[in-house]
Amino acid sequence: MPTDPAPGKPMDDLTGPFILHLHCGDGRQTTELLRRDGVVVQGLDTSRENIAAARRNPAFREDYGRRITFRWFDGKHLPFIDNCVNTIYSSVPLEVAPEELHRVLAPGGIAVFRGGDKPNLSADLAIVRQVKDGPYAGYWRLEKRWPPDIDEWTHHMHGADNNRVSRDTRLAPPLSHLQWTAGPRYTRHHEHMSSFQAMVSARGKVFYVIDEGRKDSVLLPPDWNLVARDGFNGIELWRKKLDRWFNHLWPFKSGPTVVTRRLVASGDRLYAALEMGGPVSVLDAKSGDVLQTLPGTEGAEEIVIDGERLVVVRREWLANSTNHEVKERIVNGGVAGRATAGFGWNQVAGRESVIAFDLPTRKLLWEKEMPIAPFGLGLRDDNV
């Protein structure tokens, strides 16, 4: 009998943080799955003795309960809600039905398991193929397709056209459970700037800006962060601290509303103005790494993307380094009347420009100066 390969390299091309190891035995093989950063692993086995041995394994002493757990299952039914597991691995032929694997896999999730007959699933539901070479030759690889009834929410108002209507038909009453929850359980004082600033989603990931500062007093300093989570199980993928986002003491309901329009997701890229007065940055949605900043977008207030076009509203006084004092008031200090008025679309607010870029080349296409009402920018059918 051939030696079971360690589940390392075939996992390298898989995405998502939640890995399920079926028929994990005493857990020795499961240690290889933990070598990837940022993953959460659960081992299942039909032997209670194996589960007890895995839980006693000293290799998991620091990570058990946080990054790894083990539990018993009956060999046929997976104890998870729908669409929550990113990767399933087994070096043992499964009694779990292909439909059950498909049920628990998140869209885009992958199951890699040993031998047996080809899983009988519709091509509309999953891509199924057999590994031809390498240490996993003969294993089946099942990849769940993205269901057509699940939509993305890439902008503050759903899309670039400012129509707050999703095309999602999966989420409908009656709702029996929450998919996941994440902290903090409470945010800061509700009579000032909202602690939850912006949230968008694309390709099974959600991104949001949140103030996680101490709740003892709203007068204490803010702690702004850009956070990415898996959209189907809520596991945190990465976070980036925002040092100069916005003044958390901005008066309740007085705006500026445009801060919610400074975050856009598009495919495997995230576009964000990461600091007040700064340019638009292009981030890798998987890692949070800043890949590029777009020159000429300093002072970005709103961002919208439609196809291969990125359009930015740029406010001149916000981008101008000589207005450092005003920017410091907005980011850190009390809000002066000049700063409050500076986010309107009257003469006091100063000059604004609309700038269009070609995304594949990152080249500036055109720029036009005009006053822009907050939330007034939209793209549809090649028109701005």
pLDDT at 329 over 80: no
- Range of 15-24, 162-171, 200-209 with top mean pLDDT: 200-209
Tokens 């329009």 locate to: 261
CA atoms of 130 and 136, how far apart (whole Å): 9
CA atoms of 145 and 154, how far apart (whole Å): 20
For 265, the token pair is: 């997701």
What percentage of the chain exceeds 90 in pLDDT?
Answer: 61
Tokens 């399933």 locate to: 88
Q: What does the mean pLDDT of the chain come to?
A: 87
Q: Give the Cβ contact number of residue 295 at 10 Å.
A: 10
Q: How confident is the model at residue 321 (pLDDT cuts 50, 70, 90)?
A: low
Pair (127, 249) in one structural domain: no
Mean pLDDT of 262-285: 94
Is there a domain that residue 152 lies in? Answer: no
pLDDT tens digits, residue range 161-180? 999 999 999 888 888 889 99
pLDDT at 69: 96
CA atoms of 193 and 210, how far apart (whole Å): 11
75: CATH: 3.40.50.150
pLDDT at 8 over 50: no
Residue 99's identity, in one-letter code, is: E
pLDDT at 1: 29
Is there a domain that residue 185 lies in? Answer: no
Tokens 């996680």 locate to: 212
Pair (207, 284) in one structural domain: yes
pLDDT at 173: 85
CA atoms of 340 and 336, how far apart (whole Å): 6
Is there a domain that residue 1 lies in? Answer: no
Pair (211, 346) in one structural domain: yes
Query: Whole domain around residue 132: which residue ranges?
Result: 9-144
Paired strand residues for 40: 18
Pair (233, 116) in one structural domain: no
Mean pLDDT of 193-204: 92
For 107, the token pair is: 């869209």
pLDDT at 343 over 80: no
Alpha helices in 260-336 (DSSP H): 316-319, 324-331
Pair (125, 200) in one structural domain: no
pLDDT tens digits, residue range 124-159? 999 999 998 888 888 999 999 999 999 999 999 999
Pair (140, 205) in one structural domain: no
- Range of 9-13, 136-140, 198-202 with top mean pLDDT: 198-202
pTM of the model: 0.91
330: CATH: 2.40.128.630
Which of 13, 45, 16, 15 shows the shortest CA–CA distance to 28? 45
pLDDT at 137: 87
For 308, the token pair is: 């291969």
pLDDT tens digits, residue range 356-371? 999 999 899 999 998 8
Pair (111, 204) in one structural domain: no
Neighbour-count burial of 356, counting CB atoms closer than 10 A to its CB (0-12 exposed, 13-18 middle, 19+ buried):
middle
pLDDT at 2: 34
In sequence order, what DSSP letters do the residues of 100-134 get, joined into one string?
HHHHHEEEEEEEEE--SSPP---TTTEEEEE--SS
Is there a domain that residue 172 lies in? Answer: no
Is there a domain that residue 49 lies in? Answer: yes
Backbone φ, ψ for residue 290 (5° rounding): -80, 115
